[in-house]
Amino acid sequence: MSSVTPDQPRRPAAGVRADARRDDARPAGAGRTDDARRTDDGRREDGRREHGAREHGAREDARRDDARRDDGRRQHDRPGGRRASGGRVPAPRRPESGRGRAPLVVAAGVAAGWAALTSYLPVALVLALAQFSEDAGSVAGALRAGLSGWLLGHGVPLQTTAGPLGLVPLLLSGLAFWRLTRAGVHTSRAMGARGGRSPRQALTAAVAVGLGYGLLGALAAVLVSTGDLRVSPVRAGVTHAVFGALAALVGALRTTGVAGLLAERAPAVLRDGVRTGLVAGLLLLGAGAGAAGLAVATGGGDAADMIGAYRTGVAGQAGITLVSLAYAPNATVWSTAYLLGPGFAVGAGTAVRTSEVSVGALPAVPLLAGLPSGPVDGFGAALLAVPVLAGMAAGWLLARRLLRDADERAVPAWAALLGPAALAGPVVGLLAGLAAAASGGPLGGGRLAEIGPVPWQVAAVSTAVVTAGALLGAAAARVLARPAPRA
């Protein structure tokens, strides 16, 4: 038994006393030094984490700024400057895959067929109105007349008992050309050639549409060649094929980007000259359209009497009016030839020009109600200055554009200015000659076998007049330009 009582404290063992002495012998600041060291290590670790977080945030901000700049550049390059929805960076466009495309034959056939249908239906409707009266006209006759007018609108002559009918309604030709241009666009897209800048693909699409359109023209010629009307299927097929290929080529060149490629590679003088020629030609045709409209308006009473003399009822008179409107572009070209000087003919041995008007008996056509009764005199002679003024306006616009695009302290050189102005004349001459050739044609046999202007005369006069006017306008703008004073 132990001799220690419960009230008496026990003495620690020898090992415990030794540990206690060592702990007592340890310096008083040793424990605090370890705690401080751990605190400093924690602070340094927290600093490193905070620095890393700041660097990560800076990198994320830089990445977002780069993305916004790329997005802005893409939006700036996008046509029309439209912004992408949601502010997201658009993904790059993938190249078109050949999977799911229609075969070329199918695409060209459908496009050519749709162009033919949309240009035929208005003709059938107008001619149906012109034929319908109280005791005449039928659906079959209207459809057949529509096919005949559709062929005529493409330049295919119709052989009738009264002689050949070859006076082309240019309004219908413009409608068919526009529809075939769209056919070239759709066929190029179906081929996957959009933006490819491949002349071969553009030609392929145009030829495919032309072949399909030529087959439709030959078929239409076969369908209408009955009774007293004859149309050559070979002539119709070839004419429609060439017409369709040329119109489709315009759309294909634009869709594939070949037109832009040709414009980029063409010399600056050629680009500016063609542009100036187109402007002068449009101004000249606009003046001719205004003169033709004024002439028809002054002779409106005679035109109304001619329409009322047909005795076809309201629908028939409306159809005759629409047929006359289909020849309004022809009248515009004839009026332009009248302003230029060569004039035009309304039958064999006739002449309508500013210096002479000799016509005989004319058919009761409302469009001819505005023909002048004699040569111009007095203030009417001022009409001769209209073509020159059109050329001067085009030359002036050319010079102003070149002055605006040039350095603000410099004036374009004479060669860079007069070269395009001189080239504008031949461009207008070529276009005016083609328009004069397309606007004329026979309206039967005998006296009405010659209608319209003489193409080469219109081309020669318009070339000379527009060239002189464009050079005068460009030179005047160049002389009157004042370079900015030097600072």
C-alpha distances out from residue 235 to 76, 166, 310, Å: 51, 13, 33
Same domain, 164 and 286: no
Same domain, 462 and 445: yes
Instruction: Determine the average pLDDT of the residues in 294-306.
Output: 75
In a domain, 297, yes or no: yes
Is the separation of the CB atoms in 469 and 390 below 8 Å?
yes
Q: Read off the pLDDT band of 465 (50, 70, 90).
A: very high
Same domain, 196 and 226: yes
Instruction: Determine the average pLDDT of the residues in 220-245.
Output: 94
More confident residue, 12 or 47: 47
Characterize 373-396 residue by residue with b for buried, 16 or more Cβ atoms within 10 angstroms of its Cβ, and e for exposed: eeebeeeeeeeeebbbebbbbbbb
| pLDDT of residue 388 exceeding 50 | yes
Domain termination residue (choose one: 211, 236, 265): 265
| pLDDT of residue 53 exceeding 70 | no
pLDDT at residue number 338 = 94
pLDDT at residue number 132 = 62
Domain termination residue (choose one: 249, 265, 281): 265
Strands 351-353 and 356-358: antiparallel
Same domain, 195 and 327: no
Q: Which domain holds residue 113?
A: 104-265
Same domain, 339 and 381: yes
In a domain, 393, yes or no: yes
| pLDDT of residue 203 exceeding 50 | yes
Same domain, 465 and 317: yes
pLDDT at residue number 226 = 84
Same domain, 349 and 398: yes
| pLDDT of residue 268 exceeding 80 | yes
pLDDT at residue number 289 = 93
Strands 158-160 and 351-353: unpaired
Residue among 378, 425, 364, 371 nearest 398 (CA): 425
pLDDT at residue number 200 = 95
| pLDDT of residue 429 exceeding 70 | yes
The predicted-structure confidence for 107-131, as pLDDT tens digits, reads as follows 999 999 999 999 999 999 888 877 6
Q: Read off the pLDDT band of 452 (50, 70, 90).
A: very high
In a domain, 193, yes or no: yes
Q: Read off the pLDDT band of 37 (50, 70, 90).
A: low
Same domain, 237 and 292: no
Helix (H) or strand (E) holding 457: helix 455-480
Same domain, 363 and 237: no
In a domain, 50, yes or no: no
342: which residues sit within 8 A by CB, 6+ positions away? 353, 453, 454, 457, 458, 461
Q: Read off the pLDDT band of 364 (50, 70, 90).
A: confident
pLDDT at residue number 65 = 67
| pLDDT of residue 94 exceeding 50 | no
Rounded to two decimals, what is the model's pTM? Answer: 0.76
More confident residue, 399 or 3: 399
Average pLDDT, whole number, for the chain?
A: 81
Share of the chain above pLDDT 90, in %: 48
More confident residue, 436 or 365: 436
Is the separation of the CB atoms in 151 and 218 below 8 Å?
no
C-alpha distances out from residue 124 to 240, 253, 406, 481, Å: 18, 31, 53, 56
Q: Give the chain's domain count.
A: 2
For residue 442, report the phi and psi dihedrals to the nearest 5 degrees: -80, 145
Using CA atoms of 312, 313, 316, 318 in order, give the dihedral in degrees to the nearest 10.
140
In a domain, 6, yes or no: no
Give me the residues paired with residue 163 across strands.
160
pLDDT at residue number 436 = 96
Instruction: Determine the average pLDDT of the residues in 149-161.
Output: 94
Instruction: Determine the average pLDDT of the residues in 310-335.
Output: 82
Q: Read off the pLDDT band of 283 (50, 70, 90).
A: very high
In a domain, 298, yes or no: yes
Strands 345-346 and 163-165: unpaired
Q: Read off the pLDDT band of 443 (50, 70, 90).
A: confident
Same domain, 247 and 286: no
Instruction: Determine the average pLDDT of the residues in 259-264.
Output: 92
Share of the chain above pLDDT 70, in %: 72
